[in-house]
Amino acid sequence: MSTLVDTNIVTRSAQPSHPMYQPAVDAVDLLTRQGEVLCLVPQNIYEFWVVATRPVALNGLGLSVAEAQAELATLKQIFTLVHDTPFVLTEWEQLINQYQVVGKNAHDARLIAAMKVHGIKQFLTFNTQDFVRYQGITILSPFDVLRAPPAPPQSQSQAP
């Protein structure tokens, strides 16, 4: 199964001194070992860049352009990048009307639109409450992932 990873997970994973670093890294690691395909969409990349290059005094990571580029390269190695299609805009418009989304929450609706267009059923985020309104997806926090019983190993067929 595929899981879209929220920007707050990748941002915390780039901050070893942050209290949410370890749960973010451990949840990503566990889901990967369980065979999940962990995805990002272009919006995650844009949002990460904003936070990564924003000064620490303004709640950013304070990375230089070169450091942020290196972090992006690492993210692209760890996660599957699912590209935008014109259908994401159409789905987003339907979601904002259906759920009466206003203001900043429109960014969240765009992530959900990309999930729906690409058939991604799970979303990993620290902000679970921001997404509970959306039907048809499973919202996971790193804490949910880490306290869940281990998933059975994926069976691998063997050639005769």
pLDDT of 148 reads 75
Q: Is residue 47 part of a domain?
A: yes
Q: What is the DSSP string of 123-144?
A: EE-S-GGGTTT-TT-EEE-HHH
Distance CA 110, CA 37 (A): 20
Q: Is residue 87 part of a domain?
A: yes
Task: List the alpha helices (DSSP H) in the chain.
Answer: 7-13, 21-33, 42-53, 65-78, 86-98, 105-118, 142-147
Q: What separation, in Å, do the N-terminal and C-terminal C-alpha atoms of the chain show?
A: 27
Q: Is residue 81 part of a domain?
A: yes
> Per-residue confidence of the chain (160 residues) as pLDDT tens digits?
799 999 999 999 999 999 999 999 999 999 999 999 999 999 999 999 999 999 999 999 999 999 999 999 999 999 999 999 999 999 999 999 999 999 999 999 999 999 999 999 999 999 999 999 999 999 999 999 999 766 555 544 444 4
Domain CATH number, residue 109 = 3.40.50.1010
Q: Is residue 39 part of a domain?
A: yes
Domain residues for the domain of 104 are 2-146
pLDDT of 150 reads 62
Distance CA 99, CA 36 (A): 29
Task: Find tokens 């844009």 and name the residue.
Answer: 46
pLDDT of 154 reads 52
What are the strands of the beta sheet with 138-140, ordered from one edge? 80-81, 37-40, 2-5, 122-124, 138-140
Domain count for the chain, please give it. 1
Q: Is residue 45 part of a domain?
A: yes
Q: Is residue 137 part of a domain?
A: yes
Show contacts of 123-127: CB within 8 Å, 24+ apart. 123/3, 123/4, 123/6, 124/3, 124/4, 124/5, 124/6, 124/9, 124/27, 124/28, 124/31, 124/38, 125/5, 125/6, 125/8, 125/9, 126/6, 126/8, 126/9, 126/12, 126/20, 126/24, 127/6, 127/8
Q: Is residue 153 part of a domain?
A: no
Q: Is residue 157 part of a domain?
A: no
